Amino acid sequence: MVLFQILINVHKVYISDSLIKMIQVMSLVRNNWSTEAIIYPAFSLDPKFLLSPFNDGFIFFNNGRLIGNYPIALSLLYSIFPLIPFSFLPYLNVLFLYAFIRLLYRNSIQIKSIVWIVLGCIVFPLLLDFSENGIFLILGSYGYVYLWKAQEDDRISNWLAGNVLLGLSIWFRLEGILFFIAIQVSVFLLELTKKKFNLANVFQLRRYLGFLVLLILFLGWNDYSYSHILGPRYLATFTQTEKTILTQLQVLVSMLFTFPKAGGFSFGLFFLTPILFFAIIKELRKNIREKLLNFHLAVSCLFIVLVGCTSPNDGITLTGRYFLLAVTPLAFILNQQIESIQSQKFLYRTTLYWNILTSTLVLLISYFAMIEFYKIKSEVNQVNSTFTVTTNELISSAYGLELIDKKVVCIRERNLLPYFFKNARSENLTDFTLVTVKKVNQYNAEELALYTDLVKHSSYYGYDCENEIFFDRIKSRRCVLKK
């Protein structure tokens, strides 16, 4: 894993989510843990934050400050490693991967099942770059195993450990709440199947008290800090999304399998790892035939339905990523059915070859995306400027972690030109550098037209723009205030 991370330069290249998450961590440290407000060097020129150099919607105003759309727990956790350079924090994911493998192995999951789950599923690609996925997977998975054991032996220690770990997981991702609901509903259904059903057993505090306390603290913190009980993740995604039943169904299909998009097909959970789908079908048929209710099957199915019905979107390429916690109960199901699937040689070999193909494609997409982005990053680093104006977020975000020190803005729309230039003149900006894409194609014609308008407006507002400097992928020109 570490070798692949080095190969794709995860310590040098931060794209989209990973960039925002690391900027949150760095801002928290720079602010001496007094506020989680994002440091934005170009704030005086962009007080309304209309020219964000980051992906649109990832950072927004809340209670008078700029914040990222990820919970404070992520920033706080990684900010306590002051001796480790920020750029090397992504490599800590290998520890989470080891802890996850150890959990599966110690609970009698066969090696071949572990290989399918770790290398053939969504786990490996989700742990490549900097994110909360590693710690979220560990907290949710260990919590799940404790609660699975608790519903069998009814030990207080297992109930407490499982609830506390799952309660901590919701501080990193909201899916932890849905996972807990799926587990509790499954426990209730298992109680119903018992000959001596006792409703009082279901509502014993030990079954959910630890989680409830942490949930109340989580909701209280969010309400106090962000004025919404579900926090920044909800504010940044759910409140900006309007969907119909049909579009939500498309999201579910995309997350489970795949769905055609303008940019190509997506990789859903079962599209990437179809053996998990066949394992579920076999386990379901077995349970129906024997009139049994399997805890792992109930939890995984309920969780998948809950996530699929509530998710605000399906991501971009690896759409099954929101089902990350389902991987653990699915590992137990696969382990129970792996021998049966292997006995059907054609099915097993087909799923194996398909899984190798899809996993390779996902890794190749990650590799080439990182390589291309690294090349753009190398070029923008050659643009020597005290203030940079770009025309798309791919170029502006290529500055990476330097955005916490560099003054970079991104102008995406023509109607923002007067806003920028009026602020530039009022703040006595003496010079800036325009950076845009070099080659014209069917996708960037409007962007280059915007670049031309930027040059024209520069002249109108009293700036002289020098000759263009060309690179392989971008071009730039410096504009200086007339004397």
Backbone angles phi, psi at 264, to 5 degrees: 120, -175
Which pLDDT tens digit goes with each residue over 399-410? 989 999 999 999
Between residues 102 and 317, the one the model is more confident about: 102
Which of 217-226, 235-244, 263-272, 298-307 bottoms out in mean pLDDT, i.e. has the lowest? 235-244
The set of residues, in sequence order, having a beta carbon less than 8 Å from that of 392 and lying 6+ positions away, is 410, 412, 436, 437, 444, 447
Q: Averaged over 405-428, what is the pLDDT?
A: 93
Mean pLDDT, rounded, for 17-30:
92
Rounded to an integer, the average pLDDT of 315-338 is: 93
Quickly list DSSP for 284-325.
HHHHHHHT---HHHHHHHHHHHHHHHH-S---SS-GGGGGGG
- pLDDT category of residue 127 using cuts at 50, 70 and 90: very high
- Give the β-pairing of 469-470 and 474-481: antiparallel
Query: Domains in the chain, start-ordered, CATH in brackets?
Result: 89-245+293-302+325-340 (no CATH), 379-481 (3.30.1710)
If you average pLDDT over residues 155-166, what whole number do you get? 95
Is residue 94 predicted with pLDDT exceeding 90?
A: yes
Rounded CA-CA distance 356/380 in Å is: 36
Nearest to 297 by CA among 337, 258, 352, 355: 337
pLDDT exceeding 90 applies to what percent of the chain?
59
CA contacts within 13 A on the Cβ side of 447:
23
Give the CA distances from residue 124 to residues 12, 93, 101, 120, 228, in Å, rounded to whole numbers and listed in that order: 19, 10, 11, 8, 33
CA-closest candidate to residue 218, choices 374, 406, 413, 72: 72
Structure tokens at 221: 């913190």
> Per-residue pLDDT averaged across 208-217, rounded?
95
**Strand 431-437 with 65-68, pairing:** unpaired
pLDDT the model gives residue 241 = 64
Q: Please tell me the pTM assigned to this model.
A: 0.92
Q: HSE-up of 351 (CA within 13 Å, CB side)?
A: 20
Beta bridge partners of 474: 437
Segment of 18-22, 104-108, 244-248, 287-291 carrying the highest mean pLDDT: 104-108
Q: Is residue 101 over pLDDT 70?
A: yes
Is pLDDT at 126 greater than 80 in this prediction? yes
